[in-house]
């Protein structure tokens, strides 16, 4: 079996926007699980792209990937904040006048080489193709714990006599809804809101009672006579806790407490979507549950569960929301749990491909039969000149001044102007309050750390850093583990190729064991795992064990003592398969003339009765349509990288694309 090593790539004009399979959240790190097709401890892929949420925003990038010269090679729930948040600036407007181009900024970013991604498993010649910015060219369907692929194919509402009439959505005026929302969220000093009943009837009063109670959880109602007129008076039932705990007595006992539904979304990650839904439903985000997060740059379909919100109310959101669709409603006894999914199914279109039919056939057969190296993708390491793994390394070293400096110091790279000004203020004054005033958005990592420093002082950085939500803090150390793992798997493949050797590790149940000389022929490369460093893993019994030790020693870490003074930052470690073979792989090459036409139907297209596209036998362009399923914690970018033989880093794609455009 032949391996190749990437030595160069070139790009053509186009756009690479990819969505990766979800990995489990840091909440599950606490469970100390070790077995996975991928890695069962991580920062979730769904706080966009597996990096702690910074104030920075990287726009969609125009780029296309293609193969260049190669040589053969021998052998991670929202933390609620009490204070009011200032509105952030718009996504586009702030930076339009900035002189430095995005390509210039990204020259300071990471390449695959920087994070240990250097090998390929296949021997085919790479070719170029465009993964368009069109979201319809990249579709992700969640695979549930029963192995069923989630589809949105039913918008009907379960019949339930307990549900109020549709009038509850229209009986209140916009002004009344505004007053009730302010009362519900304690935004004014009123203790109640009175709604006059015009055209008073018992039926009308009943609908108003139902509307207030269902649309504004936490509010109770009563009817009062005032000067011969009837009023429905809304008031708080049980203080602020009522908002988080939907009314128990208003939910039929015979109905499951959770409404499960399929969420179809475009250009929103899962947490953003839940924030939007909770805002429209006027509930807190923590009453929603899901099995995995989906990233932003795609169309995604997944199952969501919500506590004591009716299918009727959820379906009403279809009339209000753009780029969302909710359906396949059912009532269940239990919520969903993170990590219960089996993976995700991807449908990906690579447009304007240059490969011959034979090249495509070789590439896709290799993906189907051998697979790809299970690297952690570029999203895990950040987009600026300060990679997230460097912060993780400083945390593990207990170097808290360096942690603070790495997060807050000025750096080159793609960042919003207000974040640049915040960093400059910090460098100049070391005054957390002054730097914080430069930020219109306070809930990013930088804003949270500055708020912590203002609260606890510069001599208590540990407590200040602790203000950042736990999941986001753990993403930094998971990024360092991923960085080590990527480098070690490249060394393993360089040293021993794609066959098992004595001293490699395999899993028997949840336990890692060594491959002995006499058992080598009983295993394939798809059985081999390698550890993420931690106190509860074993390392291979060959040269790569020394490589682990040397790498951690160079980083001033003791591989024999991965326990940290702060328990949260103690790494137990985990095992990750080094090669992933996708399931349900299929593909076809289609011809087309119009680059704007969709090349397959989405679930919404099918619901609307749109006929599938018809392709001519010949056309101006050719596209590769790929379908494949991946387990949790694996990266679709790495599968696409193996097919095209490309560098997936933003830096490489952007700079080469800019060169091509000149």
**Coarse DSSP helix, strand, coil percentages of the chain, rounded to the nearest 5 percent:** 35, 20, 45
- Across 509-522, b (16+ Cβ under 10 Å) vs e yields eeebeebeeeeeee
Say if residues 338 and 271 touch (Cβ distance below 8 Å): no
Question: Helix (H, G, I), strand (E, B), or coil: what is residue 650?
Answer: helix
- From residue 278, alpha-carbon distances to 217, 264, 269, 275 in Å are 11, 16, 14, 5
Catalytic hit among 48, 295, 504, 647:
295
Token readout for 49 is: 């792209």
Token readout for 378 is: 């570029």
One DSSP character per residue, 556-586 reads T--TT----SSGGG----EEEESEE--EEEE
Count how many residues are written for the chain: 662
Report d(CA 489, CA 323) in Å as an integer.
Answer: 39
Report d(CA 550, CA 562) in Å as an integer.
Answer: 15
Question: Helix (H, G, I), strand (E, B), or coil: what is residue 486?
Answer: helix
Helix (H) or strand (E) holding 417, with range, is helix 417-429
Report d(CA 566, CA 558) in Å as an integer.
Answer: 16
Question: Helix (H, G, I), strand (E, B), or coil: what is residue 218?
Answer: coil
Instruction: Provide the sign of the torsion angle of the four alpha carbons 55, 60, 63, 69, taken in this order.
Output: positive
Question: Which residue's structure tokens are 């401890």?
Answer: 41
The angle that helices 400-408 and 388-396 make with each other, rounded to 10 degrees, is 160
Token readout for 155 is: 């918008």
Say if residues 632 and 37 touch (Cβ distance below 8 Å): yes
87 catalytic per annotation:
no
Count CB neighbours of 659 within 10 A.
11
Point out the residues that are catalytic: 295
């Amino acid at each position: 079996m032949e391996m190749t090593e990437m030595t160069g790539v070139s790009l053509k004009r186009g756009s690479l926007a990819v969505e990766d399979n979800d990995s489990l959240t840091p909440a599950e790190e606490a469970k100390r699980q070790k077995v996975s097709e991928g890695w069962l401890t991580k920062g979730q892929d769904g706080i966009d792209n597996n990096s702690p949420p910074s104030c920075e925003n990287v726009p969609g990038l125009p780029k296309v990937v293609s193969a260049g010269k190669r040589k053969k090679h021998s052998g991670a729930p929202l933390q609620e904040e009490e204070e009011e948040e200032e509105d952030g600036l718009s996504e586009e407007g702030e930076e339009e006048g900035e002189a430095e181009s995005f390509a210039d900024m990204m020259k300071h970013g990471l390449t695959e080489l920087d994070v240990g991604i250097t090998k390929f498993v296949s021997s085919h010649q790479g070719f170029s193709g465009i993964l368009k910015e069109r979201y319809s060219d990249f579709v992700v369907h969640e695979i549930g714990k029963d192995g069923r692929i989630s589809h949105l194919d039913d918008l009907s509402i379960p019949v339930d006599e307990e549900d109020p009439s549709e009038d509850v959505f229209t009986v209140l005026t916009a002004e009344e809804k505004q007053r009730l929302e302010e009362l519900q969220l304690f935004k004014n000093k009123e203790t109640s809101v009175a709604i006059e009943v015009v055209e008073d009837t018992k039926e009308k009063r009943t609908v108003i009672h139902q509307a207030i109670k269902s649309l504004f959880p936490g509010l109770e109602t009563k009817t009062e006579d005032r000067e011969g007129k009837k009023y429905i008076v809304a008031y708080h039932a049980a203080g602020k806790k009522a908002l988080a705990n939907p009314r128990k007595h208003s939910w039929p006992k015979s109905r499951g407490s959770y409404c499960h539904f399929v969420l179809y979304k475009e250009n929103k990650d899962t947490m953003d979507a839940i924030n939007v839904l909770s805002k429209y439903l006027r509930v807190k985000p923590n009453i929603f549950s899901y099995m995995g997060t989906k990233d932003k740059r795609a169309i995604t379909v997944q199952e969501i569960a919500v506590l004591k919100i009716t299918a009727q109310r959820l379906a009403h959101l279809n009339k209000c929301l753009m780029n969302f669709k909710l359906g396949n409603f059912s009532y269940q006894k239990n919520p969903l749990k993170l990590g219960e999914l089996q993976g995700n199914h991807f449908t990906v279109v690579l447009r304007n491909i240059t490969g011959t039919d034979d090249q495509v056939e070789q590439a896709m057969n290799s993906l189907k039969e051998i697979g790809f190296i299970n690297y952690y993708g570029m999203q895990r390491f950040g987009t600026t000149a300060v990679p997230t793994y460097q912060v993780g390394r400083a945390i593990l070293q207990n170097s808290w001044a360096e942690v603070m400096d790495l997060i807050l110091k000025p750096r080159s790279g793609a960042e919003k102007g207000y974040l640049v000004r915040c960093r400059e203020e910090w460098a100049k004054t070391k005054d957390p309050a002054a730097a914080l005033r430069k930020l219109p958005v306070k809930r990013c990592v930088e804003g949270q750390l500055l708020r912590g420093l203002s609260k606890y002082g510069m001599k208590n950085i540990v407590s200040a850093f602790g203000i950042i939500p736990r999941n986001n803090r753990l993403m930094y150390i998971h990024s360092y583990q991923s960085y080590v793992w990527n480098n070690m798997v490249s060394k393993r493949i360089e040293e021993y190729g794609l066959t098992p050797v004595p001293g490699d590790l395999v899993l028997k149940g949840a336990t890692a064991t060594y491959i002995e000389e006499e058992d080598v022929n009983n295993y394939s490369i798809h059985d081999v795992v390698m550890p993420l460093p931690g106190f509860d893993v074993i390392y291979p019994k060959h040269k790569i064990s020394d490589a682990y030790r040397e790498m951690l020693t160079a980083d001033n870490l003791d591989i024999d003592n991965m326990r940290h003074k702060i328990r949260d930052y103690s790494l137990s470690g985990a095992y990750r398969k080094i090669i992933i073979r996708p399931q349900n792989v299929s593909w076809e090459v289609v011809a087309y003339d119009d680059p704007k036409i969709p090349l397959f139907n989405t679930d919404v297209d099918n619901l609307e009765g749109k006929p599938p596209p018809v392709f001519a036998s010949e056309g101006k362009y050719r596209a590769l349509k790929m379908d494949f399923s991946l387990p949790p914690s694996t990266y679709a970018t790495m599968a696409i990288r193996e097919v095209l033989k490309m560098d997936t880093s933003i830096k490489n794609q952007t700079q080469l694309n800019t060169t091509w455009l000149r």
